A and B are shown apart, each in its own frame.
Chain A
Amino acid sequence: MSARSPSSRRPILDMLEDRREADEFRASLVRLPSSPLASADAPDNAGLDDVIVISSDDDNESTAPVTHAPLREDSAYAKAKALSLERTRLRREERTRLMGSVDELEGGPSKFVALMTDPSQPRDPRTPSRMDAALETARRRRRSSLAAASGASSPDASATDSWRSALRMAEIEEKSARARAIAEERARLEKYTSREIEAALRGDDDSGPHADALLSAWSAKLDDRERNMLRQAFRAPPAQQLACVGSIPITGHDFASLGPGEWLNDEVVNGMVVMLQARADAEAAAGVGPRCFFFNSFFYASIYELRCRYNYRKVRRWTKKVDLRDIDKVIFPVHLGTHWTLAVVNLRDKRFEYYDALLSTNHAALDTMRRWIVDDFADKHSIELDVSQWTDYVPKDIPVQRNGYDCGVFALSYANFVARDCDLVFDQKHMPQFRKRIALALLEGELPM
């Protein structure tokens, strides 16, 4: 481990399977107008020699202050949290409005009518004006009958009677029109709410467009500033600390594992876990999205993988600061020798989920989750949790890796989408961009979304 020198990157790059992708990526790092390197020697074929030049250039670079790598520790978390909070505030407002109209419904017709006819209330643009029309017709009739009655105003008793009955008829008509309108509106809103409110309550307001938004944020093209930032970071010497996420230091060596074709290491994976936790906390505080609790990649190593034997004692204190009764999903990356996968204990839907970019089913992991949740509830809350009806969920129609190096990015992407109740709408072609976005997120201490 101590023998990691800048030149150690060469053999790794030699191993690249996807040369085109690697060249593209390398080109994006090297060929920037501001790079003295690019202007000095910018051959058409950005070969491996370029990279070696970069490494040797490191020594000159290291003396210069690295502007993008302040030692943010908890500030990265705070920033991510604040951002997510702001982002989710809007969603919460929307939901509150939705809930409000349901409450009004539950309050009964009179309250509802007050809401619907109160001009001070902001009108839902989707509300049809049918009710207004019906009320208006009734009012018009009443006015006309009143006018007719008053026009024929005579001391005659029969005239007074007809005037009164006309008035009563108009009133009845108005009331029945109003009742009809309410019934119609109520039926319409009920249909609309049962679907949307439920979704809003669960935090997955229509997972289609939501997932698409997440995907486009994560696969957005880098702008010049971001590219420049990445280029600098990838040139950093292995020992240099580039960022600190939570209490995880991200060094040049860790960062290099995000390069094209490289295998992700635990610092990168766990750095992302910290940021996903921050986002989930912010969203849960705002009342949107599932309440998630993340373990880092050493959870599964401790509870099972290292000894190939279930050992609750090793992780007994890992949940000392969380009450799992308030959690919807416990999410953790699983490291299996040379492979990354993702495991989820879904307390809300009562199932154990496992996502593997190579589609294997890890019975040991599923069994471990099953035993752990029972043990932890017994230990922390003296609750005998019955999981006999809980199911194993190992979907085989998920996006899969088409190479021998992207499983870490896949595992993190599963976590990213599952933590938001989003469909897994990405695939292999998004991975190069996801790598860059993860790299940027670690540097900036902020997720794209």
Chain B
Amino acid sequence: MSDPAPAPESKPKVKDDTAGATEASNHIQIHVVSQSGDDVFFKIKRNTPLSKLMRAYCSRAGVDISAVRFMFDGSRVREDMTAEQLEMEDGDEIDVMAEQVGGQ
């Protein structure tokens, strides 16, 4: 009687408190908008490195990741950054820009 009691009691409690709440808010939807205006949606966890999103976008769009820059509100998005760090919210946009070269 005393054996199983503590285990089930503590385990579900932890799950109940966090699981329901975070499962919903932990995932956010991000629009990745190309220069031509194409809009691709991604669902990503707030604390997942954005490299996942970036690589997924590049393979889908068929571009090399080194040839494009991901920008969020004017700041460069680094691969190791997360949506949380950048204070992204559900529905926010990331712009994809192509390399710029100029000389003349």
Chain B nearest CB, measured from A436 CB (Å): 17
The 9 closest A-B pairs by CB, nearest first: A1-B67, A263-B103, A318-B74, A405-B103, A266-B100, A2-B64, A247-B78, A317-B73, A340-B102
Name which of A75-83, A292-300, A362-370 contacts chain B.
Answer: A292-300
Residue of B nearest to A411 (CB): B102
On whether the beta carbons of B66 and A251 are closer than 8 Å, the reply is yes
Q: List residues of A (292-336) whose CB comes within 8 Å of B's CBs.
A: 295-299, 301-302, 306, 314-315, 317-318, 320, 335-336
On whether the beta carbons of B69 and A298 are closer than 8 Å, the reply is yes
On whether the beta carbons of A339 and B104 are closer than 8 Å, the reply is yes
Instruction: State whether the Cβ of B101 lies closer than 8 Å to any Cβ in chain A.
Output: yes
On whether the beta carbons of B76 and A263 are closer than 8 Å, the reply is no
Chain A nearest CB, measured from B86 CB (Å): 10
Which residues in B have their C-beta under 8 angstroms from that of A315?
Answer: 74
On whether the beta carbons of B66 and A338 are closer than 8 Å, the reply is no
On whether the beta carbons of B102 and A306 are closer than 8 Å, the reply is no
On whether the beta carbons of A298 and B71 are closer than 8 Å, the reply is yes
* Bound CA–CA A263/B100 (angstroms): 10
Which residues in B have their C-beta under 8 angstroms from that of A298?
Answer: 69, 71, 74, 95, 97, 100
Bitwise, B26-58 to A at CB < 8 A (1) or not (0) is 000000000100000000000000000000000
Which residues in B have their C-beta under 8 angstroms from that of A287?
Answer: none
Chain B nearest CB, measured from A260 CB (Å): 12
* Bound CA–CA A283/B45 (angstroms): 39
On whether the beta carbons of A263 and B77 are closer than 8 Å, the reply is no
Instruction: State whether the Cβ of B75 lies closer than 8 Å to any Cβ in chain A.
Output: yes
Chain A nearest CB, measured from B102 CB (Å): 4
Which residues in A have their C-beta under 8 angstroms from that of B63?
Answer: 1
Bitwise, B65-104 to A at CB < 8 A (1) or not (0) is 0110101011111100100000000000001010111111
Chain B nearest CB, measured from A278 CB (Å): 14
Give which listed residue, B67, B77, B95, B102, contacts A302 with CB less than 8 A: B95
Chain A nearest CB, measured from B52 CB (Å): 17
Q: How many A-B residue pairs have CB under 8 A?
A: 91
> Which secondary structure dominates chain A's binding surface?
mixed
On whether the beta carbons of A266 and B69 are closer than 8 Å, the reply is yes
Bitwise, A50-63 to B at CB < 8 A (1) or not (0) is 00000000000000
Contact A295/B74 with A301-B97, A302-B95, A306-B35 known, Cβ cut-off 8 Å: yes
* Bound CA–CA A320/B92 (angstroms): 14
On whether the beta carbons of A338 and B103 are closer than 8 Å, the reply is yes
Q: List residues of A (203-255) whose CB comes within 8 Å of B's CBs.
A: 239, 244, 246-249, 251, 253
* Given A1-B99, A405-B103; 7 other pairs, CB 8 A cutoff: A1-B66, A2-B66, A73-B78, A247-B77, A251-B66, A298-B97, A317-B74
Which residues in B have their C-beta under 8 angstroms from that of A406?
Answer: 103
* Bound CA–CA A66/B81 (angstroms): 25
Which residues in B have their C-beta under 8 angstroms from that of A338?
Answer: 101-104
Instruction: State whether the Cβ of A185 lies closer than 8 Å to any Cβ in chain B.
Output: no
Which residues in A have their C-beta under 8 angstroms from that of B73?
Answer: 317-318, 320
On whether the beta carbons of B101 and A264 are closer than 8 Å, the reply is yes
Residue of A nearest to B76 (CB): A247
Instruction: State whether the Cβ of A262 lies closer than 8 Å to any Cβ in chain B.
Output: yes
Which residues in B have their C-beta under 8 angstroms from that of A265?
Answer: 99-101
Chain B nearest CB, measured from A236 CB (Å): 14
* Bound CA–CA A31/B26 (angstroms): 56
Residue of B nearest to A337 (CB): B102
Chain B nearest CB, measured from A360 CB (Å): 12
Residue of A nearest to B64 (CB): A2
Show 8 residue pairs from A and B whose CB-CB distance is below 8 angstroms, ordered by the A residue.
Answer: A246-B76, A247-B75, A267-B99, A270-B76, A315-B74, A318-B74, A336-B102, A408-B103
Chain A nearest CB, measured from B72 CB (Å): 9
Which residues in B have their C-beta under 8 angstroms from that of A251?
Answer: 66
* Bound CA–CA A337/B102 (angstroms): 7
On whether the beta carbons of A296 and B104 are closer than 8 Å, the reply is no
* Bound CA–CA A171/B100 (angstroms): 78
On whether the beta carbons of A262 and B103 are closer than 8 Å, the reply is yes
Which residues in B have their C-beta under 8 angstroms from that of A317?
Answer: 73-74
Chain B nearest CB, measured from A332 CB (Å): 10
Chain A nearest CB, measured from B15 CB (Å): 36
Chain B nearest CB, measured from A328 CB (Å): 19
**Which of A248, A295, A298, A317 counts the most chain B CB atoms within 10 A?**
A298
Q: List residues of A (148-193) whose CB comes within 8 Å of B's CBs.
A: none
Which residues in A have their C-beta under 8 angstroms from that of B100?
Answer: 265-266, 269, 297-298, 301, 335
* Bound CA–CA A265/B67 (angstroms): 11
Instruction: State whether the Cβ of A30 lies closer than 8 Å to any Cβ in chain B.
Output: no
Instruction: State whether the Cβ of A84 lies closer than 8 Å to any Cβ in chain B.
Output: no
Give which listed residue, B66, B69, B78, B102, contacts A264 with CB less than 8 A: B102
* Bound CA–CA A296/B69 (angstroms): 12
